[in-house]
Structure 1
Amino acid sequence: MMQKLGTLIILFGIAIQGFSQDYVNAQQRDLMMKMDEGVALMNQGDYAKADTYLQQVLIDIGVVPAELCFYFGKNSYHLEKYKQSIDWLNKYIEIKGTTGQFFDQAKEYLALSETDYLTEKVGPTRQPVKENLAKPQRIDCSTTPFILCPVCKGSGVLIEQGTLGNAIYRSCPYSDDSGRMTCEDYQKYLQRDLVISP
């Protein structure tokens, strides 16, 4: 009787284990199908809806497959979530290395994400701003006989670009060898009376 009960318990345990394994496999299969639906939506350009599907898979899955890292990173790029894209694409490359199926695409999207992230962080490329002359003001020349030359920025040298793209150096005509401008010339500069040649 005890032996039959022990055998029955073992068989019952095996049945439960088989059932739970089937349940886990079915759940995995459902998540992979949801991931595939998200990828299909991404490929159709519906990035917001694809994001919903992919995020749900990320929440529900136990172990994140490398492919999901790639898809989530790629989709994040299209949603302009560049930092998130960088993180997930790097994770894909860490897991799969250079032999991964999506390595080339991951590298391409990673470069795009990094460029756009830096642009977003720093701001759009700015055109060089012409230096504005300071507003006119008076300086007591008796206490400050010399000022750091605003034309050469105290270097004593003006650097110009030649016709062949080479640099041409010449001494600053507005400062001494130490890059200092006299206070009187600085007053003229502030009043815009000092003629500055290009």
Structure 2
Amino acid sequence: MYRLILFIGVLLTSFTLSAQTEQEKIREDIAQRQAQYQTALDRLIENGVEKMDAGDFEGANVIFKDVLKNAQVVPTEMTFYFGKNSFYLEKYEQSIDWLNKYIQLKGTQGRYFEEATDLLNKSNAAVRLMRQQEAKATEAILAADYDIDCGPTGMVICPVCQGRGVIITKTSFGQNYRECPYSDEHGLLTCEEYNLLLKGKLEKKINN
């Protein structure tokens, strides 16, 4: 009986050790795979940085986007690299987004803090300039010397008197009425008159 119990004990111990060994192998395998993955990821990022430093920003962009697509967790330095490369690709809003992330994560102690801050300021300035240029372009289009089609009637309600034929102003003695210097008695303009008015070229009526 004693031998049977001893045999069972040895057998259970053997199973336990075998199970522990198997678990350790699994853990070692996982750790090895993670290390290999991290090594490959680091090398891929290094390749991207090398291309960026060499001025191949498009090539670096392809690599960095591949890293972002496949990385389980994005390395902090990657936020700087992608933000920096985006700046040189003139993708300023994208650059601002990623450089801000880097500064938020690493703070003033970050290895690339000064460069990130400089690029961030330049990106913000570039965005402001682009918006100013867009506003000027829009203004130029609106102010261009175009003739507006007034429709089949060829008549338009005068924007000065708003179709009343008279201009009403308030005075200390009440309301003052005077004939519209541009429209006819019905408060209308011809299409030609309307376009001249928009351009500031319509002359006032002589009798006004």
> TM-score, normalised to structure 2's length?
0.62
Decide which of 144, 160, 163 is 2:167's aligned counterpart.
144
Q: How does 1:66-85 map to 2 (within 5 A)?
A: 66-85=76-95
Q: Determine helix, strand or coil for the equivalent of 1:123.
A: helix
Query: What's the CA shift for 1:126?
Result: 4.2
Cα contact 1:47–1:79 (8 A) shared by 2: yes
Match of 1:174 in 2: none
The structure with the largest helix share of the pair is: 2
CA 1:144/1:125 → structure 2, altered by over 3 Å: closer, same or farther? closer
Q: In structure 2, how many angstroms separate the alpha carbons of the residues matched to 1:71 and 1:2?
A: 55
CA 1:36/1:191 → structure 2, altered by over 3 Å: closer, same or farther? same
**Greater than 4 Å deviation, 4+ residue runs:** 124-129, 137-142
Q: In structure 2, how many angstroms separate the alpha carbons of the residues matched to 1:48 and 1:142?
A: 63
Q: How does 1:25-174 map to 2 (within 5 A)?
A: 25-123=35-133, 126=136, 143-144=166-167
CA 1:142/1:120 → structure 2, altered by over 3 Å: closer, same or farther? closer
Cα contact 1:28–1:61 (8 A) shared by 2: no
Match of 2:19 in 1: 9
Q: In structure 2, how many angstroms separate the alpha carbons of the residues matched to 1:126 and 1:55?
A: 34
Unaligned 5+ runs, structure 2? 1-10, 148-157, 170-177, 183-200
Q: Quick one: which amino acid aligns to residue 69 of structure 1?
A: T
Cα contact 1:38–1:49 (8 A) shared by 2: yes
Query: What's the CA shift for 1:109?
Result: 0.8
The answer to whether structure 1 residue 191 and structure 2 residue 199 are counterparts is: no
Query: What's the CA shift for 1:118?
Result: 2.7
Q: Percent identity?
A: 31
Q: In structure 1, how many angstroms separate the alpha carbons of the residues matched to 2:57 and 2:65?
A: 12
Q: How many residues align?
A: 155
Query: What's the CA shift for 1:63?
Result: 2.0
Pair member with larger Rg: 2
Q: In structure 2, how many angstroms separate the alpha carbons of the residues matched to 1:58 and 1:29?
A: 15
CA 1:61/1:142 → structure 2, altered by over 3 Å: closer, same or farther? closer
Deviations 1:34-63 (A, max 9, x none): 001101100111111101111111122222
Match of 1:22 in 2: 32
Q: In structure 2, how many angstroms separate the alpha carbons of the residues matched to 1:24 and 1:142?
A: 83
Q: Determine helix, strand or coil for the equivalent of 2:83.
A: helix
> TM-score, normalised to structure 1's length?
0.65
More contact order relative to length (CA 8 Å, sep ≥ 6): 1
CA 1:141/1:18 → structure 2, altered by over 3 Å: closer, same or farther? closer
